Structure 1
Amino acid sequence: MLLAVDVGNTHSVFGLYDGETLRIDWRITTGLASTADELGVTLKGLFREAGIDFESVDGIVIASVVPDLSMPLTEMCRRYFGHEAVFIGPGVKTGVPIHCENPHEVGADRIVNAVAARERFGAPVVVVDFGTTTNFDVVGTSGAYIGGVIAPGVNLSAEALFNKAARLHPVDIHAPETVIGKNTEQCVRSGLFFGYVALVEGLLRRIRSEIEGEVPVVATGGVAVLFRNAIEGVDHFVPTLTLDGLRRVWEQNRP
């Protein structure tokens, strides 16, 4: 089986594929100072709980936006699985040309999202990844990755607001019944939720205006579920898009 690993700034997702079928996936907090042993022990516990043998893993592919974890992840794969992991980066075949000024700057997660979206929905296509940051990634009519937009994620915006505004206190983020709040808590929640909705919808309109023809929009990421019924212009929600992209890249690069 294939272990696909998506390491984000806030959470890391591990998915186990049996052929093209995602058998199980886990989401854990990204420990920025995690050692190889901590990562390995965590995974062993998850495998044991699911009744899956470590020995069943015969390949590992990783997309990481946290450079400090590259070495611990490499060591973990060698020590606990006996395999060299394929890291998404320069030299790895993806099948999607990157038409940007600095292709090496494009995040691994953004590349695999583009791979999965193009394979599933064709080109052009736009991916919105709702995470620590909100990434908009565009595959043009030619099938190449042509760029995108990076904006703050809703939780990052909330954190900045509460850290800088002394009289405002943290609120949970969910869809308010009305835009107009009747107290400070409601006003803050409305601003965070509907302000974020407006940001995403506005950027999608502008992106679509720069691309010829109909452009499907695919949403993914840990925060996407909060906005699934609130954002207009999103055509598909695919929670496993990044893992699916990792699997597809693995198939092109397997030893």
Structure 2
Amino acid sequence: MIVIDIGNTDIVIGIYTKHKLDKTLRFNTKSKNTIRLIKLRFTNRYIHQLKIKHKICILSSVVPEINNKIKSLFKSLKFKVLNITTNNIPFDIQFNYQPKELGSDRIANTLAAIKKYGNNCLIIDFGTATTFDVIKNNKYEGGVIAPGIDISHNALVRHASKLKKISIIRTKSLIGNNTKDSMQSGFYWGYISLINGVIDKIIKQQRFKPTIILTGGLANIFKKEISQKTEYEPNLTLNGLYLIGKIKYA
């Protein structure tokens, strides 16, 4: 089975064989060459070499303009393609959210989290946006969307002519003695404060003790400074998509 997570920054393709994630491929969503590169990779010969037993493709997309191109490509390769929504998932979960507005990646994350960790979860996804998803008593209660650290970084550099791009790292000192160190401290410790603050408010407001799950590209950088115990699941979205396909087409 092939699962595809089309995000605003990257397209991540997961290839599952024998019920395990065997390989991941990553492409730049905004590149003009992305569709061509995927076509070049996914030839009939390559698919045969992968030894995929069932030609099923489960698709999550938050980028409508590229969605149909990916669907058409895999349909031309004789895959059965399912683009997931809250209406076609094979699970009895109530979503307390506007159905047309809930990203399919967040749906996949929710299902994967419940399957592995139970009915009370708080998922933090460090992607283009930093999202917090609340699952309480097997019900998706809603979430929080904050700007992602990369787009915040890019916006600051674009609008402040003297500031240059930096790498996002944990700084030893909170107080910087030059512009680079000060920016790195501000982004790292500023986001840690945002994350811990939102976690605390969600737990207090919802009055529950969730399993806190971190996923997304930058989760690994921040996980050690989060005040609560957390679980790190870098492939949460892909695993959720696979779970949908496994049950839907079993």
TM-score normalized by the length of structure 2: 0.91
Residue identity matched to 2:68: M
- The match for 1:66 is 63
Counterparts of 1:31 and 1:243, CA distance in 2:
20
Equivalent residue letter for 1:18: T
Gaps of 5+ in 1: none
Partner of 2:174: 179
CA distance in 1, matches of 2:247, 2:53: 21
- Separation in 1, partners of 2:94, 2:238: 20
- Map 1:26-105 → 2, pairs under 5 A: 26-31=25-30, 33=32, 37-44=36-43, 47=46, 52-53=49-50, 56=53, 58-79=55-76, 81-95=77-91, 96-100=93-97, 102-105=98-101
Would you say 1:215 and 2:210 are equivalent positions? yes
What is the root-mean-square deviation of aligned Cα atoms in Å? Answer: 2.3
2:22 aligns with: 23
Distance 1:150 1:138 in 2: 12
Task: Give the 3-state SS of the residue equivalent to 1:226 in structure 2.
Answer: helix
Return the letter of the residue paired with 1:131.
G
Deviation string 1:107-140 (CA, Å, 9 cap, x unpaired) is 0000110010011111111100111100111111
Distance 1:174 1:234 in 2: 21
Percent identity of the aligned residues?
29
- Structure 1 stretch displaced more, 224-233 or 69-78: 224-233
Q: Bigger shift: 82-91 or 119-128?
A: 82-91
- The 8 Å contact of residues 27 and 34 in structure 2, kept in 1 or not, is answered as no
Match of 1:85, SS state, is: strand
**Partner in structure 1 of residue 13 of structure 2:** 14
TM-score normalised according to structure 1 size: 0.90
Paired residue secondary structure (1:172):
coil
Partner of 1:127, secondary structure, is: strand
8 Å CA contact retained: 2:13, 2:26: yes
Structure 2 residue 199 is the aligned partner of structure 1 residue 204? yes
Residue deviations 1:211-233 (CA, integer Å, cap 9, x gap): 23321100001111221222222
Q: CA deviation at 1:162?
A: 0.7
3-state secondary structure, aligned to 2:111: helix
Give the match for residue 235 of structure 1: 230
> 1:153-192 counterparts in 2 under 5 A?
153-192=148-187
Q: Secondary structure at the match of 1:180?
A: coil
Please state if 1:115 is matched with 2:114.
no
Q: Which is worse superposed, 212-221 or 28-37?
A: 28-37
Q: Count how many residue pairs are aligned between Structure 1 and Structure 2.
A: 249
Matched residues in 2 for 1:120 and 1:136: separation? 18
**Displacement of 1:149 after TM fit?**
0.4
**Counterpart secondary structure, 2:166:** coil
Contact 2:123 2:213 in 1 (8 A): yes
Deviation at 1:28, TM superposition (A): 2.2
Q: 1:234 to 1:88 in 2, by over 3 A?
A: farther
CA distance in 2, matches of 1:94, 1:155: 34
Deviation at 1:39, TM superposition (A): 2.5
Relative to structure 1, the CA distance from residue 129 to residue 94 in structure 2 (aligned partners, 3 Å threshold; closer, same or farther) is farther
Report the AA paired with residue 31 of structure 1: K
> Do 1:94 and 1:115's aligned partners in 2 also have CA atoms closer than 8 Å?
no
Amino acid at match of 2:38: L
5+ unaligned residues in a row in structure 2: which ranges? Answer: none
My pick for the range that moved more, 12-21 or 112-121, is 12-21
